[in-house]
Each structure stands twice: as structure tokens, then as C-alpha cells.
Structure 1
Amino acid sequence: MKGTKLYSILNMKCPQCQKGDFFVAHPYKLSTMGEVKKRCAKCNQKFELETGFYQGSYYVSYGLGVALFVAVVVLNYIFRETITPTSLMVSFVLALIVLLPLLYTLSKIIWATMFIKYDKNAITNYQITLEDDTRIKN
């Protein structure tokens, strides 16, 4: 499954090399929820391709929200005998509160994988030679 976009999304790894972490921390660590690293530590891929790049992830987030609400309705019809508008609303709100951090982070990584392609040689292409290393002073 490595080398697919789904691998990057499910493991929340760099879309280019699939080895470096995409996010600063776990989605449910609320202080850094959804915070994307500037670059991949393994292949140096820049994650924010342009200013405001992740504003497009709102469309993905909307789609994930609609899918969540459809799933909640279907599950209510399967597991409950009677469904009231109030019970549906409570189910929607609870599902949204519990899954909000996950949906937020998923929307960002899905958006990024749409634009960053996998390159199996990304890490080997990013090797700094001693001549190019700016930390060494001549």
C-alpha cells in the first residue's frame, strides 16, 4: 500500500516521501491541532506550497462533514427503532464534537496529497553534500 495517496492520508505522513511526519502533533492534541510542519524532515518537501494553500481544504472538510452526517443518519436508522429530530440532532452534535479534530487534520492532508506527488527517490535526491552545507564555515 506504500506509494499510494491513501498511505499518506491514513498514516499522516509526507505525501512525497511517506516517511516524515506531516503534522506537528497528534490530531487530538488540541494545542497544536491541525498544525502542519513547514517542511518534511526526511525529504525537505515544503508543505505550504503557497500563501493560503490550506484554505482549499475547507472544501474537503465540507465533503467529510457531509459524509459524517450521512453516516450518522444511516447508523440511526439501522440501530434505533424510532428516530426523532432531537435524537438525530444530538447524534450529529456528538459525532461532530468527537470527530472534529480528526476531520480537520484529514482535510488538510487530503488537500496536500492532491497536489504533492509521491516520489520513491525523494529522500535520496535530498542529500546535502559537505560543499553545499551552509553550517560549515570555510
Structure 2
Amino acid sequence: MLEGTKIYSILKLKCPRCHEGDLFLTKNPYNYSNIEKMPDVCPVCKEKYWPEPGFYYGAMYVSYALTIALSVAVFVAMIVLWHFDVMWYLGLNAAAIVLLFPPIFRVSRAAWFNFFVSYKTPEERALLNQKKA
């Protein structure tokens, strides 16, 4: 249903050009030795995953925004709904940020890449490949 949208590519961690190739070598974000490892190109459409050196530094800003959103959500849930005090909030918020760092890291990279690469249907990709040949 969402295929063809940027949200699909970001949440499924798929190539923004074809929505088929995986952005990361491993599916498990908690495999810390491979957390940031990405192929050089998409295995399906051959889109370069590293357009230029240092490209993904901008993903830090996306990660920051997602972490702030998480902190606000934890704050609202704890203070408004359950009336916990601030010290509990600080501890649980820190734990949530640490536990959710790997998925936030990957989603941030996917979102940053999606800012610059748009989806192409299989027909559009075939036409582009014909022009290149």
C-alpha cells in the first residue's frame, strides 16, 4: 500500500530509488559490529549508496530530531499519564535513548538518503537503463 512513498523506503530501510534493495548489509540493527555497514550500490537498481564522502553526516540532524521526538513522547507518557517525577523521567528517557539508538541511527540514514533520491517505477528505471546503454 505504501510502496512508492518515501515513508515506505524509510521504515522498511529499502533503497529509495527502487524500494527493493536493502540499505544495510544486516537486518538486525542490534548487531553492533555491522550497525552502519551498507553496500556500495543497491543490488537491484545499482543506485550508489555513497554519493560523496561524508554524505551521511547530515543524518545526525535527523537523528537529533528523532531523539528529541522520543524524549518528548517519553516525557508526555510519564509525567502526564502516570504522574512520575522528573528523576524517573531522566532515567527512563536515557534508557530509551540508549536502547533505541540502533534503529534511530538506521532510520536517520534512510531518511537523509530519501531527501536526495526519489523513487522510480520499474518502467522508469528500464527507460533510464536504455538511455545509459
* Category of TM-score, reference length = shorter chain: 0.7 to 0.9
How many pairs are equivalent? 127
Shift of 1:123: 5.2
Provide the residue aligned with 1:71 in structure 2: 73
Provide the residue aligned with 2:58 in structure 1: 56
Q: Secondary structure at the match of 1:20?
A: coil
User: Is contact 2:19-2:119 (8 Å) kept?
Assistant: yes
Q: Give the letter aligned to residue 74 of structure 1.
A: V
Shift of 1:85: 2.3
Q: Give the letter aligned to residue 56 of structure 2.
A: Y
Rg comparison, structure with higher value: 1
Provide the residue aligned with 1:5 in structure 2: 6
Q: Select which of 31, 34, 51 maps to 1:32.
A: 34
Provide the residue aligned with 2:95 in structure 1: 94
TM-score for both structures, normalised by structure 1: 0.85
Hey, what's the Cα distance between the residues in 2 that align with 1:28 and 1:78? 31
Percent of aligned positions that are identical? 35
| Deviates most, 25-34 or 96-105 | 25-34
CA offsets, 1:2-30, max 9 Å, x none?
A: 11000101111100000111111121211
CA offsets, 1:32-83, max 9 Å, x none?
A: 01222210000000011111000011110110011010011011024423x3
User: Is contact 1:42-1:123 (8 Å) kept?
Assistant: no
Q: Give the letter aligned to residue 10 of structure 1.
A: L
Greater helix percent: which structure? 2
TM-score for both structures, normalised by structure 2: 0.88
| Alignment gaps of 5+ in structure 1 | 133-138
What are the equivalent positions in structure 2 for 1:95-114 lying under 5 Å apart? Answer: 95-114=96-115
Shift of 1:126: 4.6
Q: Secondary structure at the match of 1:21?
A: coil
* Alignment root-mean-square deviation, CA: 1.7
Provide the residue aligned with 1:136 in structure 2: none
| Alignment gaps of 5+ in structure 2 | none
Moved over 2 A (4+): 121-127
